[in-house]
């Protein structure tokens, strides 16, 4: 579990008794963000009518996220496009950078995903109340439900709404941690079973690496699309 441990890099930064030191987690956040910015810089450097490779990929990301938002949340969600794009890119690149050997997976830490999820949850709630006022509470009372079931359904709806940040953050965190732990376990088997028996876990390790790359993309996608769905609930109030 050494791969998940956080340790300080450089001097200790202590503001108001809180330890805000630069750590390896911060370093890999910086690396992921720098890769995104570098990639976008190269992708937008030349404004070609017929795009080059990097430009094409950047534009593909753009249209991919734009399509995702317009499909799930409609045209009202357009002002939030930059945020969802940044979120998707950040999670995706943190996951992908985490796939490199000896690197650190930022998103495998519950605190990181929880902060992201809580921010989304609070922002969506504020947007909902700002757009609809107290009518936003009607999200907890689905229409067309028999009166007998209504109290129960409402309670379930409230619980499910409040558990959104938890499910959103735990999903990403658990997926990343489980994947990396599994890779580590199989990697350990390769060593412990040696030359004779190590080939089977090694092949598993190779297959799992492919799977993990898929998961890395998929979890970023799921994180972004769930954000879109929550936004949709807040923007278009019909349950």
Partner 1 sequence: MKLYLNFFIAFFAIQGYLYAAEAGMPQLDPKYWASQGFWLILIFTILYFSISKFYLPKIKNNLDDRENRIKDDIEDANKSKELSESKLKEYQKILEDAKKEVIKIQLESKAKSDKDINEKKEKIEKEIEKELVQAQKDIAELKKNSISDINNISKEIVANIIENLSGDKLNESSIKAAVEEISKKNVGKYL
Distance, CA of 42 to CA of 58 (rounded, Å): 9
Give the tokens for residue 102: 């000896």
* Number of residues this chain uses to bind partner 1 (CB under 8 A): 53
Site for partner 1 in 77-116 (CB under 8 A): 81-83, 85-86, 89-90, 106, 108-112, 115-116
Give the tokens for residue 81: 């496009």
Indicate whether 6 belongs to the interface with partner 1 (CB under 8 A).
Answer: yes
Indicate whether 147 belongs to the interface with partner 1 (CB under 8 A).
Answer: no
Distance, CA of 136 to CA of 160 (rounded, Å): 15
Q: Name the residue among 93, 88, 74, 87 with its Cα closest to residue 33.
A: 93
Site for partner 1 in 114-133 (CB under 8 A): 115-116
**Residue 185 bridge partners (DSSP):** none
Binding mask 187-216 for partner 1 (x = CB under 8 A): -xx--x------------------------
**DSSP state letters, 38-56:** HHHHHHHHS--SS--HHHH
Q: How far is the CB of 200 from partner 1 (least distance, A)?
A: 12
Is 145:102 a contact under the CB 8 Å cutoff? Answer: no
Q: Angle, nearest 10°, between helix axes 110-132 and 199-235?
A: 20
Site for partner 1 in 9-38 (CB under 8 A): 13, 18-23, 25-26, 29-30, 33, 36-37
Indicate whether 1 belongs to the interface with partner 1 (CB under 8 A).
Answer: yes
**Contact with partner 1 (CB under 8 A): which of 44, 160, 163, 167?**
44
- Of 89 and 139, CB closest to partner 1: 89
| Alpha-helical regions (H) of the chain | 24-45, 53-72, 81-98, 110-132, 150-162, 164-197, 199-235
Site residues for partner 1 per CB under 8 A: 1, 4-6, 8, 13, 18-23, 25-26, 29-30, 33, 36-37, 40-41, 43-44, 47, 49, 51, 55, 58-59, 62-63, 81-83, 85-86, 89-90, 106, 108-112, 115-116, 173, 177, 181, 185, 188-189, 192
């Amino acid at each position: 579990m050494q791969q998940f441990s956080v340790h300080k890099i450089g001097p200790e930064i202590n503001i108001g008794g809180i330890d805000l030191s630069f750590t390896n987690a911060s370093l890999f956040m910086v690396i992921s963000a720098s890769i995104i910015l570098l990639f976008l810089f190269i992708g937008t450097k030349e404004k070609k009518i017929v795009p080059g490779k990097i430009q094409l990929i950047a534009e593909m990301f753009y249209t991919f996220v734009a399509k995702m938002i317009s499909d799930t949340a409609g045209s009202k969600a357009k002002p939030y496009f930059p945020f969802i794009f940044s979120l998707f890119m950040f999670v995706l690149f943190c996951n992908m950078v985490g796939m490199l050997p000896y690197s650190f997976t930022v998103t495998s830490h519950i605190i990181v995903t929880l902060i992201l999820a809580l921010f989304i949850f609070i922002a969506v709630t504020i947007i909902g109340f700002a757009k609809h006022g107290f009518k936003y509470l009607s999200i907890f009372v689905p229409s067309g439900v028999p009166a007998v079931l209504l109290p129960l359904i409402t309670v379930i709806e409230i619980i499910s709404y409040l558990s959104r940040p938890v499910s959103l953050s735990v999903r990403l965190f658990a997926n990343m941690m489980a994947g990396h732990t599994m890779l580590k376990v199989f990697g350990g088997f390769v060593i412990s079973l040696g030359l004779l028996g190590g080939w089977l876990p090694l092949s598993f390790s190779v297959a799992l690496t492919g799977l993990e790359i898929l998961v890395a993309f998929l979890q970023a996608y799921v994180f972004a699309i769930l954000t879109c769905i929550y936004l949709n609930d807040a923007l278009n109030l019909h349950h």
